[in-house]
């Protein structure tokens, strides 16, 4: 005989319904609030910056001979500079970062491993300007060299390594121990197990981590300001001369109040975001090619 | 090609903790030996000392001898990697390599040890899959992912992968505990065929399974938490299940304990 006071099959109580509604509303509200700045930024960038991007000159020319009174010009010099510095940074930081992560996950035991892990944590907290000044002291102070693109890359390496170590570490730890043991049980040495079983299994996650690191590094400005003076002309030599990058191009025109310069600031910012986005998509594609087989 | 295993006075440790104490037993070649006993009695740990997998765990070490046809696996200068090529292993949960196709999984042991010849690989893959009773089910999709197979098929794939490197001994650590009864039956049939070629040691929690597949059974137990596991007795399976010589064995197999 079920009655309204039955405790076993009672309907959902009003207070629980209310709490459910409040919690649901709060979550949606948080989501919307978090989205506001993102949408706002993208909207502003597209609205103010898309104009110049439609002009082929933007993608093929430099700012050579363009003053702040002249409309347009190109961002090619800054795009190529950003890409070159990022590429060299990745070439140095990826092997070091992935290697450190492999050491920490597969080999590291005891005090040394704890020390390495602690150092990576410290490196994570190093502000970009400190990394830049460290390289400045080393590159210019100790070695007496000039401010060039490669020095910027070295500073960026310091910022990228901890990102790659931490993300790769996570991915390697996700590879089940069963798989390593299965390979060991076949008489496969440890290093070969890591190269042929563990790394391919974690490949897509590692690539995603590298792309995140790259995205962070491409937007860094402090190392550029300290180590990589801006140039309006195209320079593809990382070891000589001033070299443009998108953040310094933004910084260059930012100080001008004239409309043509302001337009270029927005367009360069939008270009940087697009560049990072394209690289992330490429990363997705690459990781999909070589990742875990799921087809039947 | 099958070899026998002898242990004498074998103690197995995790760091300072002694997990298994004073085991002396013989595993006969071309037969199936089952290890039974309650959880935590050290039977899996003991099994993993037979191919030196125990050392993969930090702090894992042994004292005493494990002889493979009179050669001490733990003698000075013996390469654990070489031991594992001789003594293969199948694990509790099917663990095909997720980045590899069915073919690549079976060929992986040879390939990762440097074998390249295409014909040799083709032959070995087919032969191993046939011996694992899986060939007919997968021959048309060798290039598909191993993870697309059912649990029972995956476990037979893992057995094919293990026997492709021609081991002398095959260790099985609860190979059916993650499988349904039909797949279990398929694996048990397979074990029955494989014992003509290999020495097989199987750890199982399922006493009916031990009674069905094994020629000899070893019973282990543990005096209490934190105490090491011990071998109580080892003998012919039929004998063990009908007339165990120890009271503890009888209590365990009749379900009065554990």
Which residue does chain A place closest to B94, by CA atoms? A178
Which residues of chain B fall below pLDDT 70?
Answer: 1, 257-258
Q: Which residue has the higher pLDDT, B76 or A289?
A: B76
Looking at chain A, the whole-number percentage of residues with pLDDT higher than 70 is 95
Smallest Cβ–Cβ distance between A292 and the set B83, B98, B112 belongs to B98
Give residue-wise pLDDT tens across range A204-230: 899 999 998 998 899 999 999 999 899
Query: CA of A179 to nearest chain B CA: how many angstroms apart?
Result: 6
Q: How far apart are CA A231 and CA A80, in angstroms?
A: 12
The whole-chain average pLDDT of chain A stands at 91
B85: closest CA of chain A, how far (Å): 4
Place of tokens 């197995």: B12
Smallest Cβ distance to A197: which of B83, B88, B97?
B97
Tell whether the model's pLDDT for residue A295 goes beyond 60.
no
CB spacing of B108 vs A183 below 8 angstroms: yes
- Tell me whether residues B108 and A296 touch, CB distance under 8 A: no
Q: What is the CATH topology of the domain spanning A76-289?
A: MetI-like fold (1.10.3720)
**Weakest mean pLDDT among A66-70, A98-102, A135-139:** A66-70
Among chain B residues, the shortest Cα distance to A291 is held by B99
Residue A29's contacts (CB-CB under 8 Å, 6 or more residues apart) are: none
How is B36-58 classified by DSSP, letter by letter? E-STTSSHHHHHHHTTT-GGGST
* Model pLDDT, residue B114: 87
Using a CB–CB cut-off of 8 Å, the residues of B that contact A are 51, 53, 56, 58, 81-86, 88-89, 91, 93, 95, 97-101, 108-109, 112-113, 144-148, 158, 161-162, 165
Q: Distance (Å, rounded) from C-alpha A189 to C-alpha A73?
A: 57
ipTM of predicted assembly, 2 dp: 0.90
Say if the Cβ atoms of A186 and B101 lie within 8 Å: no
Distance separating the N- and C-terminal Cα atoms of chain B? 37
Q: Where are the beta strands (DSSP E) in chain B?
A: 5-14, 17-27, 32-36, 60-68, 71-72, 87-90, 169-173, 199-203, 216-222, 229-236
**B100 contact residues in A (CB cutoff 8 A):** 293
- The reported pLDDT for the residue numbered B223 is 84
For helices B181-194 and B151-163, the axis angle rounded to 10 degrees is 20
Q: Which residues of B touch A185 (CB under 8 A)?
A: 51, 53, 84, 88-89, 91, 162
DSSP for B181-225, written as a single string? HHHHHHHHHHHHHHTTTSEEEEE-S-HHHHHHH-SEEEEEEESST
Strand order through the sheet with B87-90 = B71-72, B60-68, B5-14, B17-27, B229-236, B216-222, B32-36, B199-203, B169-173, B87-90
Contacts of A294 in chain B (CB under 8 A): 145, 147-148
Note whether A186 contacts B53, CB cutoff 8 Å.
no
Tens digits of per-residue pLDDT, A148-190?
Answer: 999 999 999 999 999 999 999 999 999 999 999 999 999 999 9
SS3 for B133?
A: coil
Tell me what pLDDT residue B248 has.
86
Q: Is the pLDDT of residue A296 over 50?
A: no
Name the residue facing A184 among B56, B98, B146 (closest C-beta): B56
User: Which stretches of B124-190 are assigned E, i.e. beta strand?
Assistant: 169-173
Q: Show the tokens assigned to A234.
A: 């195209």
For A201, other C-beta atoms within 10 Å of its C-beta total 23
A-B interface: how many C-beta pairs under 8 angstroms? 91
Phi, then psi, of B6 in degrees rounded to 5? -125, 135
Domains of chain B plus CATH, in order, are 5-94+172-253 (3.40.50.300)
* B27, β-bridge pairs: B5
Residues in A touching B51 (Cβ below 8 Å): 185
Environment class of A278 (CB within 10 Å of its CB; exposed 0-12, middle 13-18, buried 19+): exposed
What are the angstrom distances between the C-alpha of A75 and each of A70, A81, A221, A274? Answer: 14, 10, 17, 13
| Contact assessment for residue A90 and residue A160, using Cβ atoms and an 8 Å cutoff | yes
B59 alpha-carbon distance from chain centroid: 22
Question: What separation in angstroms does the CA of B104 have from each of A48, A194, A237, B126, B212?
Answer: 54, 17, 45, 12, 33
Q: What is the pLDDT of residues A105-146, one digit of tens each?
A: 999 888 999 999 999 999 999 999 999 999 999 999 999 999
pLDDT for B1 equals: 62
Q: In the structure encoding, which two tokens stand for residue B136, read together? A: 């007919």
Tens of pLDDT, residues B161-208: 999 999 999 999 999 988 888 889 989 999 998 999 999 999 998 888
Residues A185-195 pLDDT 10s: 999 999 999 99
């Amino acid at each position: 005989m079920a009655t309204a006071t039955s405790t076993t099959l009672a309907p959902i109580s009003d207070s629980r319904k209310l709490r459910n509604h409040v919690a649901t509303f709060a979550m949606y509200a948080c989501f919307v609030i978090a989205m506001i700045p993102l949408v706002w930024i993208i909207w502003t960038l597209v609205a103010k910056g898309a104009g110049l991007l439609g002009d082929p000159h933007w993608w093929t020319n430099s700012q050579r001979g363009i003053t702040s009174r002249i409309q347009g010009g190109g961002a090619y010099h800054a795009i190529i500079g950003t890409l070159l510095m990022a590429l060299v940074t990745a070439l140095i930081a990826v092997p070091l970062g992935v290697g450190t992560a492999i050491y920490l996950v597969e080999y590291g035991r005891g005090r040394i491993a704890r020390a390495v892990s602690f150092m990576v944590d410290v490196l994570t907290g190093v502000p970009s300007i400190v990394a830049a000044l460290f390289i400045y002291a080393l590159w210019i102070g100790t070695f007496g060299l000039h401010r060039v693109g490669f020095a910027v890359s070295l500073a960026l390496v310091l910022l990228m390594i901890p990102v790659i170590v931490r993300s790769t570490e996570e991915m390697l730890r996700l590879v089940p121990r069963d798989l390593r043991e299965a390979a060991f049980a076949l008489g496969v040495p440890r290093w070969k197990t890591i190269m042929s079983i563990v790394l391919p299994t974690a490949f897509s996650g590692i690539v995603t981590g590298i792309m995140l690191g790259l995205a962070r590094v491409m937007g860094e400005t402090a190392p550029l300001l300290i180590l990589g003076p801006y140039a309006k002309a195209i320079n593809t030599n990382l070891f000589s001369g001033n070299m443009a990058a998108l953040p310094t191009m933004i910084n260059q025109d930012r100080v001008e109040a004239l409309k043509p310069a302001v337009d270029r600031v927005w367009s360069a910012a939008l270009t940087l975001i697009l560049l990072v986005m394209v690289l992330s998509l490429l990363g997705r594609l690459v990781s999909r090619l070589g990742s875990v087989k799921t087809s039947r | 090609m099958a070899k026998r295993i002898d242990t004498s006075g074998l103690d197995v440790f995790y760091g300072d903790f002694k997990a298994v104490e004073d085991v002396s037993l013989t595993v006969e070649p071309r037969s199936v030996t089952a290890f039974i006993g309650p959880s935590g009695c050290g039977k899996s740990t003991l099994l993993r000392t037979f191919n030196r997998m125990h050392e993969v765990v930090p702090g894992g070490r042994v004292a005493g001898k494990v002889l493979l046809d009179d050669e001490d696996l733990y003698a000075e200068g013996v390469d654990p990697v070489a031991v594992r090529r001789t003594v293969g292993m199948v694990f509790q949960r099917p663990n095909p390599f997720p980045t590899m196709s069915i073919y690549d999984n079976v060929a992986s042991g040879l390939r990762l040890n440097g074998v390249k010849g295409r014909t040799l690989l083709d032959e070995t893959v087919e032969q191993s899959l046939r011996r694992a009773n899986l060939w007919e089910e997968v021959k048309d999709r060798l290039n598909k992912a191993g993870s697309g197979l059912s649990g029972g098929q995956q476990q037979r794939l893992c057995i094919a992968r293990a026997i492709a490197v021609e081991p002398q001994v095959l260790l099985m650590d609860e190979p059916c505990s993650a499988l349904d009864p039909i797949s279990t039956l398929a694996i048990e049939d397979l074990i029955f065929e494989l014992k003509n070629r290999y020495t097989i040691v199987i750890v199982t929690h399922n006493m009916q399974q031990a009674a069905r597949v094994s020629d000899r059974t070893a019973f282990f137990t543990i005096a209490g938490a934190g105490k090491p596991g011990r071998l109580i007795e080892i003998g012919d399976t039929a004998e063990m299940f009908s007339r165990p010589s120890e009271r503890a064995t009888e209590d365990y197999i009749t379900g009065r304990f554990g």
